[in-house]
Amino acid sequence: MNQNVDFILSAEFPTSPRTLYRAWIDGAGHAEMTGASATSDPRVDGEFTAWDGYISGVWLELEPDRHLTMRWRTVQFPKTAPSARVRVVFDPTPGGTRLTLTQEGTPPEQVESYRRGWDEHYFEPIRVWLAESGV
């Protein structure tokens, strides 16, 4: 990551890093975790989509159960804007996992929207998914 970080978000979840990592990179697991369709080719340079095609990207780094890095964009990015870079780290805690997400390269006028969006469309659905599924 460089010094152009748009935001860093962190949340704790009562499950293992392995569970969160695997759900994040697997299309079916991602769909179950968020409640919206997703696809994924879970390898470096593999492509993915999420939220019914609203999000698309490519995996840059995958370290199982530890972290992932992706190039990521939504259909709302200006056509000429490069994709943002998102890194998600899964740190074990006594009660489960601390997930830390760092995003950089977001179109400046959209930074606050995506900061809120991660909580609303990821962190909250993950909490519901974990409570309902018991994983």
Per residue in 56-97, pLDDT (tens digit) is: 999 999 999 999 999 999 999 999 999 999 999 999 999 999
Number of domain units in the chain? 1
CATH at 56? 3.30.530.20
Name the CA dihedral angle for 57, 26, 5, 91, rounded to a multiple of 10 degrees.
Answer: -170
**Strands 39-40 and 5-13, how do they pair?**
unpaired
* Mean pLDDT, all residues of the chain: 95
Q: What is the pTM of this model?
A: 0.94
Q: Which domain holds residue 54?
A: 5-133
Q: Which pLDDT band holds residue 134 (cuts at 50, 70, 90)?
A: confident
pLDDT surpassing 50 at residue 44: yes
pLDDT at 38 over 80: yes
pLDDT band, very low/low/confident/very high, at 135 (cuts 50, 70, 90): confident
